[in-house]
Amino acid sequence: MSKKQRFLLLSVLLGLMIALQIKALDSGIKYLSIKEMYAQSIELESQKSELVQLNSKVEELRAQIEAYQTAKDDTDIDYEGFLKSEIELTKETAGLTRVEGPGVVIIVTDGTRELIEDEDPNMVLVHDIDIRAMVDDLRNAGAEAIAINGQRVVFNKSNIQCTGPTIKINDQVFAPPYIIEAVGDRKFLESAINAPGSFSESLRSWGVFVEVNTSISVTIPAYEGFVSYEYLN
């Protein structure tokens, strides 16, 4: 076999190996729809925002610890009353108490429009990723407390996931419509849902029904799930 023929054979074998490798990799790829990619980008931005907020909270707690250390020898301080106040504030921040205030009430449900030829029917259905993206938008708009169908949504504890045509929230399964309630500045929260370019506006353009109403009084229940930590002693 000539040198040219050997080179040609090696090239063919190399090409075949690359093709097989690409095929193997491709079999594990999950292709996302435009709707899913947009929701993922919203969720990523929200996680970045939450990281900034958590870093700010760490600095705030450090300042509190320094204040405690400075005041530990002051006998005029009502430590018992102070600690009770801190405990109640911590429980409220963690979502463990019922809260009430101005806010918004949002109704989200599957669309009823006719599908065009070859259109993915999931485009007009409400999925867990859609609810999470809307929750992220509300948090970024300053929502201080959020509930979905009466289930309190708390950071790092609430689980929102699809279970077929329904969505599980805090281990409770719900079918549409989904009622999202949030306490905070009504104008900001309403804008987070109605603003051009918002995720909710995109849902509407795809055919999903989204309606938001402001309210002077929204009641958010306490989180009733089990709170545990894997690494804290």
pLDDT at position 212, please? 97
Looking at residue 93, its pLDDT comes to 66
Q: What local confidence, expressed as pLDDT, does residue 34 receive?
A: 61
Q: How far apart are CA 42 and CA 90, in angstroms?
A: 28
pLDDT of residue 115: 87
Q: Is residue 81 part of a domain?
A: no
Residue 102 confidence (pLDDT) above 70:
yes
Summarize the confidence of residues 21-26 as an average pLDDT.
47
Q: Residue 81 CB: number of other CB atoms within 10 A?
A: 9
- Residue 191 pLDDT class (50, 70, 90 cuts): very high
Q: What is the pLDDT of residue 104?
A: 98
Q: How confident is the model at residue 9 (pLDDT cuts 50, 70, 90)?
A: low
The answer to whether residue 88 is domain-embedded is: no
Q: Which domain holds residue 180?
A: 34-71+100-220
2 lies in a domain?
A: no
pLDDT value at 28 more than 90: no
CATH number at residue 118: 3.30.70.1880
Q: Which of 34-43, 101-110, 157-166, 183-192 is predicted with the least confidence, judged by mean pLDDT?
A: 34-43
Residue 6 lies in a domain: no
Mean pLDDT, residues 124-130 taken together: 92
Contact of 102 with 215, CB cutoff 8 Å: yes
Q: How confident is the model at residue 27 (pLDDT cuts 50, 70, 90)?
A: very low
Q: Is residue 227 part of a domain?
A: no
Q: What is the value of pTM for the model shown? A: 0.66
Residues of the chain with pLDDT > 70, as a percent, come to 60
Q: Is 186 contained in some domain?
A: yes
- Whether 173 is covered by a domain: the verdict is yes
Judged against a pLDDT cut of 80, whether residue 200 lies above it is answered with yes
Domain count, the chain: 1
Residue 40 lies in a domain: yes
Better-predicted residue by pLDDT, 33 or 7: 33
